[in-house]
Amino acid sequence: MAAGRYRRFLRLCEEWPVEETKRQRDLGTALRQRVAQAFREGENTPIADPEACDQMYESLVRIHTNFYKNKYPRLKDTTFTGVTVEDCRMILATDILKQMEDMKKGTWRRLRERFSAKKPEEDSK
């Protein structure tokens, strides 16, 4: 029976999209890593708690198929602030978050990094 569970999780991993804008913070990537970790021996992996495994699979399928989004449709596709889904995706992109992190640095630190004679990788040597 573990082989069937393993195949179902693999099929779910194949269907789950990877969002390139969220490098190393994507749910699809995390799911693939967890499945690889949980099923180290592939189809021969012994499952300690089959009920919990099935429940986890069913929960992930509901997320993947937008079960609750379809069950409880929203009247508008914006938040109370007026931000759209596309705006949220753009704000949460890894590149934008890195730019915001750079903006948080103090002026003195930015100037020091910019005009320093050494490159950051040389400091670690």
Domain-located, residue 123: no
Compute how many other C-beta atoms are within 10 angstroms of the C-beta atom of residue 9.
Answer: 21
Between vectors from CA 21 to CA 85 and to CA 92, what angle results, nearest 5°? 45
CA 49 to chain centre: 25
Residue 125: the pLDDT is: 47
Domain residues for the domain of 1 are: 1-72
| Domain identity same for 47 and 4 | yes
Task: Render pLDDT for 47-62 as a digit per residue (tens, 0 to 9).
Answer: 888 899 999 999 999 9
Rounded to 10 degrees, what is the CA torsion of 58, 34, 8, 66? 40
The amino acid at residue 28 is G
| Domain identity same for 37 and 79 | no
| Domain identity same for 56 and 5 | yes
Residue 74: the pLDDT is: 81
List, for the chain, all residue ranges whose pLDDT scores fall below the cut of 50. Answer: 125
| Domain identity same for 2 and 18 | yes
Q: Are 89 and 21 in contact (CB under 8 A)?
A: yes
Give me the number of domains the chain comprises.
Answer: 2
pTM: 0.62
Between vectors from CA 18 to CA 15 and to CA 20, what angle results, nearest 5°? 155
Report the distance separating Cα 48 and Cα 22, nearest Å: 33
Task: Render pLDDT for 28-37 as a digit per residue (tens, 0 to 9).
Answer: 888 999 999 9
Residue 117: the pLDDT is: 62
